[in-house]
Amino acid sequence: MANNGQTDTAELVAMLSKCTTVNVRLALVPHDQQWQLHHGQVTLDDDTPVTERTWRYSTAAFLELPLPGPTAAALLRGDDQDVHGLQVVSPSPPFSSASTSRLRGQEEWGRVTTPWPRTEWTISRDTNTPQPGRHLLVGDGPSFLNFDQALSAFLYQRPYESTADRSDLWRIVLPQRAGWLEQISIGPDLLTAVVAGEDLDGAELALSWAAGNQPQPVNGPGTYRFPLPHGLAHDSLLMLHRADQWLDWRHFPAPTYGRARDASVIWEQPGLELDILLANGEGKYLECKQEVPEGDSRKKMLKTIAAFASRDGGTVLIGVRDDLQIVGLPEKPTADKQELQVVGMIRDSVEPAPPYESRVIDYDGKKVLAIEVSGGGQMYAYRDSQRPEFYVRVGPNTVPARHPEIAAGFRQTPAAT
């Protein structure tokens, strides 16, 4: 199966119809004495017991419960259904096909990360569909400032964010548990991979790089080791596959630097990770600073952080010169105080608060501050005085965003409260 593509909606309806039970989350809004589906999520082949939830308000309802597969299929098809005592009006999908993405284990997409790979199908909502109001929600459930925050809390357990994606009518998730990479440890001369899975017959694990390939058969779940006599080569690819079909994989460095950190990868010597990160040089996903910047250089760094968050993410390294020489942070003030200084800059100058992690990496006695920014799925602004400015990353440069880019970014997510 390709990583990305399109699937006919009728195929998804048929797939759901064959399921005995599926786990469903529904967000509903009032419509002519009934409830209209605003957003639906379906998880297939999930034997994890679902904790049923019902949040009821005068202007919204949120349900999480198991449903018969044919009932979920009927909703997807656009047929009205009785769900948990509520008459649900289901809009017909505006498109005949769904966007299809096959994701590796630990890959964050749409605010969801799973240890195992998964396939996700998304069907966009008709752009002419009226949007929920921005009223306070008080009722049989937690209270929220508006529908967006309630949706974010219900789907992603993020109650204080009003950035839940409102563009999808349906999201269907199929876990792929045949085999996955549970944990990977990378040392100076050894890579160790822990493989898990429910169907590993005939599988192979291979470490590949530009000048070579180390394959070994997988004899069920367990630990597999690859010697690294010359260290981990740049752009190495660890692939778990069966014949020409991949089950799971990891790429070093990661395809985009600023994604949420991969919890399955352990760098036994953090300096090794820094070497891999610097191998490609400064570019679309990496910016280097010799020290915590001041004046115009500070503004440039904050604009870059806003640009990273507005698109695919990226990393700012402080303690590294433009020529990629690692000089480390100055000894005074302490690295912790310099980290707090940068965190304060971001808090005061980038709106809304961007998704990022900060950490200090030790490298041969030198300390480097890494600011790892995830793509936030919306536009983030650098605020100079009272005027918001929007930027994007083009190659190694941070440039002002054009009006169509700004408009497209705001169409993906609601405005902040």
pLDDT in tens, 321-375: 988 999 999 998 999 999 999 999 999 999 988 888 898 988 888 999 999 898 8
Place of tokens 């991949």: 246
pTM of the model: 0.74
What Rg do the C-alpha atoms of the chain give, in angstroms? 23
pLDDT in tens, 49-91: 788 999 999 999 999 999 999 999 999 999 999 999 999 999 8
Lowest mean pLDDT among 178-187, 208-217, 261-270: 261-270
- The answer to whether 316 and 373 have CB atoms below 8 angstroms apart is yes
Q: Both tokens of residue 340?
A: 């707090």
- The answer to whether 376 and 163 have CB atoms below 8 angstroms apart is yes
Residue range 33-40: mean pLDDT, rounded: 93
pLDDT in tens, 276-327: 778 778 888 899 999 999 988 999 999 999 999 988 888 999 999 988 999 9
The half-sphere exposure of 347 on its side-chain side, counting CA atoms within 13 A, is: 8
Q: What is the pLDDT of residue 253?
A: 65
Q: What is the pLDDT of residue 410?
A: 60
Residue range 370-391: mean pLDDT, rounded: 84
Q: What is the pLDDT of residue 162?
A: 45
The half-sphere exposure of 286 on its side-chain side, counting CA atoms within 13 A, is: 22
- The answer to whether 9 and 123 have CB atoms below 8 angstroms apart is yes
Residue 403 scores a pLDDT above 70: yes
Residue 167 scores a pLDDT above 70: yes
Residue range 138-145: mean pLDDT, rounded: 92
Q: What is the mean pLDDT of the chain?
A: 87
Residue range 87-115: mean pLDDT, rounded: 88
Residue range 13-34: mean pLDDT, rounded: 93
pLDDT in tens, 182-215: 999 998 899 999 999 999 999 999 999 999 999 9
Instruction: Select the more confidently predicted residue: 39 or 283.
Output: 39
Q: What is the pLDDT of residue 63?
A: 97
At 414, is the pLDDT very low, low, confident or very high (cuts 50, 70, 90)? very low
Lowest mean pLDDT among 213-227, 229-243, 316-330, 393-407: 393-407
Give residue 188's identity as a one-letter amino acid code. P
Residue range 394-409: mean pLDDT, rounded: 82
Report the share of the chain in percent with pLDDT over 70: 91
Report the share of the chain in percent with pLDDT over 90: 58
At 260, is the pLDDT very low, low, confident or very high (cuts 50, 70, 90)? low
